[in-house]
Chain A
């Protein structure tokens, strides 16, 4: 059986990749995908912990997270589409009308 620490470290690596992606990529879609990666890292950790603990709470939360992530993606894409119609760009570097 894979020890829990391996799963946690694995999930942390994925989480960090996701976070770095979210922080450094400029295309909104890639930022969104990176954030999904972060959420999936959480799922991995949850399921690992769940099996180590021997209760279902982690798995329940993981399923909720998957559901919510789907909703988030839908809302996010809708916002990006609305923005694209106005600005003709999906580059986060070009979006700073609101500042200071």
Chain B
């Protein structure tokens, strides 16, 4: 076999390269920073993330057409760029809300930020993967960093347990994912999405049971990070045990990355299997929404409640995947930004309530917040409204797009179920609102939030409202994303 390796076009991977340099550099810099000043590392990481975000954004105008490099295994299109911005935004906000939290938990270490950047790097590779191998590598880069982050408070019993659960289930599922990749390779002789698609078309493999099984295995592998039923079992436990900023991070970024990879594989790789994957995703979507919402009803722990709520949101987003039309992709893209705002915000509130001896994640910790901290209560209500999908919030617009896409594709029953689920969801979101407004506070020690946390809360709060009232800018970006992405398909 004669193999020639052409020189890849490195200009397309500049954000990733920067990210690697930043993360490794951070590890080095960390050595020279005294133990009590570790938040400096956080500031550097934040600045770096902003820079990478700007660099990534600069690609937007040039990427009206997708471009590939590394022999077609790495693709850069607006879809990838959009999601990279979602990850970078989430990472930035997570760093902001971590600064003070880590000090309270007495685990203020520089590695934390480096790991977070490696994790972001993994996700950035994941959404740009045009080859199953690259996607797999992205997943593992992300996952290995997240496992460590989830167990970052290594003296905390719950935290280490959460890490172990996440790790074992994650590795178990990645075995299944790999077998799925192998089966696709066995059936088509390639792992590159474009070639897989071409071979399926050429040989008429659309009904091949081996491929259908492989498709399901891939869905399972990504489904773990998405937290869709029945692969969601780790989510509530890990969300509850992990450090709260990491919980916030896990609930948004890896989910978005896995969704992006799922959409790319399903739309660009095995789109001819659409009848098959639609049936499976239909069932999964229905089960996911319902399990998430119904189980959330009786939770007493807010982090756990939000975990189930994020399972339910995965169900709503699956509507967009199922729809397989331009509005659907637009909805997914928009929703992830909206979801980043509101979920980071809600978890940020939980962090705000963290103080000595109180974790702040019990629903009773929210009691009477409207009296003691009216501003905080109002912001929380905004997040809750958005999570529940009530106008004028970004969450509503996102949900509207997803539902509209599903209706356009003819999934009436599923949309009806989703609407019913939204009603159920109102109930548990408003349990928090009720605790804040209808119950009287218990005497509490003074809260001492960091400036970073306050800044993060204000930013996501304003965005949640702003893009609810004036969603156009974000919508048109999402529309461009969807447009180029679906154009490539036809």
Contacts and interface: CB of A to CB of B under 8 A. Distances in A.
Query: Would A and B touch once assembled, by the CB under 8 A criterion?
Result: yes
A71 B144 contact: yes
Nearest to B210: A8
- Please report whether the interface of chain A is mostly helix, strand, loop or mixed according to DSSP: helix
Given A49-B186, A57-B191, A82-B151, A15 B161 contact: no
A41 B178 CA distance: 10
Interface stretch (B167-175, B339-347, B382-390, B460-468): B167-175
Contact of A61 (B133, B147, B154, B160): B133
A56 B3 CA distance: 9
Contacts of A76: 147, 167-168, 171
A17 interface: no
B389 to A, nearest CB: 26
B240 interface: yes
Interface in A32-71: 32, 35, 38-39, 41-42, 45-46, 49, 53-58, 60-61, 64-65, 68, 71
Contacts of B237: 98-99
B155 A86 contact: yes
Contacts of A60: 133
Contacts, number: 122
Given A56-B3, A61-B191, A97-B161, A82 B175 contact: no
A79 interface: yes
B153 to A, nearest CB: 10
Contacts of B168: 22, 28, 31-32, 35, 76, 92
Contact of A42 (B165, B175, B191, B241): B175
A49 B185 contact: yes
A6 interface: no
Nearest to A87: B157
A87 B178 CA distance: 33
Residue with the greatest number of chain A CB neighbours at <10 A, chosen from B151, B189, B238:
B189
Contacts of A65: 178
Nearest to A12: B179
A78 B241 CA distance: 17
Contact of B164 (A41, A45, A56, A80): A80
Contacts of B241: 97-98
A98 B167 contact: no
Given A45-B182, A58-B185, A97 B154 contact: no
B163 A46 contact: no
Contacts of B157: 86-87, 97
B148 A35 contact: no
A67 to B, nearest CB: 9
Contacts of A54: 1
A38 B155 CA distance: 31
Interface residues of A, number: 46
Interface residues of B, number: 41
B388 to A, nearest CB: 23
A64 B136 contact: yes
Contact of A72 (B144, B151, B154, B186): B144
A46 B162 CA distance: 32
A83 B154 CA distance: 8
B161 A98 contact: yes
Interface in B205-241: 236-238, 240-241
Contacts of B1: 54-56
Contacts of A13: none
B163 A79 contact: yes
Nearest to B147: A75
A71 B182 CA distance: 21
A48 B177 CA distance: 18
A12 B15 CA distance: 40
A58 B140 CA distance: 18
B158 interface: yes
Contacts of B171: 32, 35, 72, 76
Contacts of B176: 38
Nearest to A54: B1
B190 interface: yes
Given A95-B164, A98-B162, A35 B140 contact: no
Closest 10 CB pairs of A and B: A38-B175, A98-B237, A83-B160, A42-B178, A82-B154, A49-B186, A53-B189, A68-B140, A82-B160, A45-B182
27 contacts: A4-B186, A8-B186, A18-B175, A32-B168, A35-B171, A42-B175, A45-B179, A53-B189, A55-B1, A56-B1, A57-B185, A61-B136, A61-B181, A65-B178, A68-B140, A68-B144, A71-B144, A78-B148, A79-B148, A79-B164, A83-B164, A86-B157, A86-B160, A92-B168, A95-B164, A98-B161, A98-B162
Interface of B: 1, 3, 133, 136-137, 140, 144, 147-148, 151, 154-158, 160-165, 167-168, 171-172, 175-176, 178-179, 181-182, 185-186, 189-191, 236-238, 240-241
Given A18-B175, A45-B186, 11 more contacts: A32-B171, A38-B175, A46-B182, A53-B189, A55-B190, A72-B144, A79-B163, A95-B161, A97-B161, A98-B165, A98-B240
